[in-house]
Amino acid sequence: MAERRGSLAAAEARYVRVSPQKARLVVDMIRGRQAGDAVNILNTVNKSIAGAVEKVLKSAIANAENRSTDVDVDRLFVSEAYVNEGPRQKRIRPAPMGRAYRYQRRTSHIIVKVSERAAETEKE
């Protein structure tokens, strides 16, 4: 356990208009990766939510730089990344014979936390 305890910095995007299930597919790809590698993955993945997740990741990296002056950006990694469900917007769609069908527009809260790896674990 050569990692620092807890996260160094975090960023959160709330009320993103995508279902949490779809956002989790992208967030699962970057969890535990180096920050630079995670940005490259998000640039190449073919999902529309990848841009929003990349924005949150870059914000977390910037927060880490602003929080401490001795942060090495090359040693940052995604320590935590998860998606929570936000409020649902209930909508009504017209249906045949004067009826109405209800559907829900789901929202997500995307949270990304970065930490700094110790120098000896980077040599592996």
pLDDT for 5 equals 55
Mean pLDDT computed over 6-10:
83
Question: What type of residue is 89?
Answer: Q
Counting the structural domains of the chain, the total is: 1
Mean pLDDT computed over 119-123:
58
Q: Lowest-confidence range among 10-24, 43-57, 66-80?
A: 66-80
pLDDT for 7 equals 73
User: Taking 50 as the threshold, does the pLDDT of residue 83 lie above it?
Assistant: yes
Residue span of the structural domain in which 81 resides: 9-118
User: Taking 90 as the threshold, does the pLDDT of residue 82 lie above it?
Assistant: yes
User: Taking 90 as the threshold, does the pLDDT of residue 4 lie above it?
Assistant: no
pLDDT for 2 equals 47
Residue 1 inside a domain? The answer is no
DSSP structural state of residue 18: S
Residue 93 inside a domain? The answer is yes
Residue 42 inside a domain? The answer is yes
Query: What's the CATH code of the domain at 67?
Result: 3.90.470.10
pTM for this prediction: 0.87
